[in-house]
């Protein structure tokens, strides 16, 4: 069960005694107490689109994978999947939340196919399912191993989750990590699990907006807070620890380097906090390489994740070695890409400058 809002943030809101945040405090308490159920997935046929073109007088047909999306409405219950409200061939409906979820699933599918030729979560056209309007004032969005689930937020701290592509792509990427062999969801492997979802969440957003590494915001969850919150997003890959600084939420606790690594039993060993370290390593590597971050740095992370060589217990140092080895294999030992990735892991303190992270 992977959720975008970490429990320590909900704990802060739940502890608030501010009268004007009574609804948010109650919603946070209820969200923390709500189990995240699973739902069985039915088998579906792979969908494709047929693109026709003329080449030298000949008609050329090219089949490209198409997403197979279904959005359900839980009507503020906790019953999954809920009532079907929009399928792949259906027009937009009058509910903006439904349409945002539908579009976000499609944008994520287009990103993974366009950047890495991956057809959906499992790589073979797996259906993309989402449920909206989950629970009453539910303050989270999560991947439950089978589908996306979106609460509406409490309206005081959280404005909703379907409008952020980085949130949707983050959660769906948990499914890709799961399909690729998985990473234990605690301590450093769990923080890597969260970081990989953050990385591809922001890359999906950059891909959709045509942003280079230099122009991108590198924020996860921008827009999910209401205007009263002093914060830009849930997390920042560019500057971990700066995404928010609010009287109720506190200050973003993410470290950017191993010098700030948090040893804790909370949040499965700090998976949402310590993910700031590999997040920042990716940002440093991508901006040092330059251009579109999904093309080279992102390709290295994607190939490392999907190669089938990561153990569920992979540590930061082991992942650093694996990404550097991937870069060396893809671009050469003395390439700009390999140097940038090696340097990024050194800068955040995961590897030593005197010990190569490959070979």
Catalytic residue numbers read 171, 272
Which has the closest alpha carbon to 135: 264, 204, 35?
Answer: 35
From its phi and psi, is residue 182 left (phi > 0), alpha (psi between -120 and 50) or beta?
A: left
| Three-state secondary structure of 34-80 | CCCCCCCCCCCCCCEEEEEEEECCEEEEEEEECCCEEEEECCCCCCC
Angle between the 187-209 and 165-179 helix axes, to the nearest 10 degrees? 130
Q: Which residue has the tokens 């539908």?
A: 102
Q: Which residue has the tokens 């579109």?
A: 292
Alpha-helical (H) ranges within the chain are 7-14, 22-33, 96-116, 165-179, 187-209, 267-270, 276-289, 297-306, 316-331, 336-347
Q: Which two tokens stand for residue 27?
A: 């919603």
Task: Answer whether 295's CB lies under 8 Å from 303's CB.
Answer: no
**How far is residue 25's CA from residue 356's CA, in Å, rounded to a whole number?**
48
Whole-number Cα distances in Å, 275 to 84, 187, 287? 35, 10, 18
Residue 18 phi, psi dihedral angles, 5° rounding = -70, 125
Q: Which residue has the tokens 């502890």?
A: 15
CB-count burial class (<10 Å; 0-12, 13-18, 19+) for 336: middle
Longest dimension (CA), the chain: 73
> What's the distance, CA 14 to chain centroid?
25
Task: Answer whether 74's CB lies under 8 Å from 148's CB.
Answer: no
Q: Which residue has the tokens 């797996």?
A: 126
């Amino acid at each position: 069960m992977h959720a975008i809002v970490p429990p320590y943030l909900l704990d802060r809101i739940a502890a608030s005694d501010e009268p004007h945040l009574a609804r948010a405090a109650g919603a946070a308490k209820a969200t923390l107490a709500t189990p995240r159920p699973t739902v069985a997935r039915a088998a579906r046929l792979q969908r494709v689109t047929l693109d026709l073109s003329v080449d030298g007088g000949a008609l050329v047909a090219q089949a490209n994978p198409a997403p197979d999306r279904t959005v359900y409405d839980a009507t503020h219950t906790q019953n999954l999947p809920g009532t079907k409200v929009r399928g792949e061939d259906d027009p937009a409906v009058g509910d903006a939340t439904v349409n945002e979820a539908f579009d976000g699933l499609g944008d994520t599918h287009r990103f993974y196919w366009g950047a890495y030729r991956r057809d959906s979560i499992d790589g073979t056209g797996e259906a993309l399912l989402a449920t909206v309007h989950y629970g009453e004032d539910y303050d989270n969005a999560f991947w439950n191993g089978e589908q996306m689930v979106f609460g509406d937020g409490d309206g005081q701290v959280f404005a909703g989750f379907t409008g952020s592509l980085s949130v949707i792509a983050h959660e769906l990427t948990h499914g890709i990590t799961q399909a690729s062999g998985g990473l234990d969801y605690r301590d450093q492997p769990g923080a890597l699990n969260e970081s990989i979802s953050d990385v591809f969440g922001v890359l999906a957003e950059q891909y959709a907006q045509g942003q280079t590494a230099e122009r991108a915001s590198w924020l996860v969850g921008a827009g999910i807070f209401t205007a009263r919150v002093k914060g830009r997003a849930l997390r920042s890959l560019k500057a971990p620890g700066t995404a928010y600084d609010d009287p109720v939420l506190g200050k973003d606790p993410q470290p950017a380097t191993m010098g700030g690594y948090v040893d804790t039993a909370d949040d499965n060993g700090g998976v949402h906090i310590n993910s700031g370290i590999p997040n920042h390593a990716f940002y440093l590597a991508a901006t040092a390489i330059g251009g579109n971050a999904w093309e080279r740095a992102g390709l290295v992370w994607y190939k490392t994740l999907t190669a089938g060589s990561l153990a569920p217990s992979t540590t930061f140092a082991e992942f650093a070695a694996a990404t550097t080895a991937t870069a060396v294999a893809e671009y050469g030992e003395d390439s700009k890409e390999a140097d940038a990735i090696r340097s990024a892991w050194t800068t955040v303190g995961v590897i030593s400058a005197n010990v190569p992270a490959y070979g």
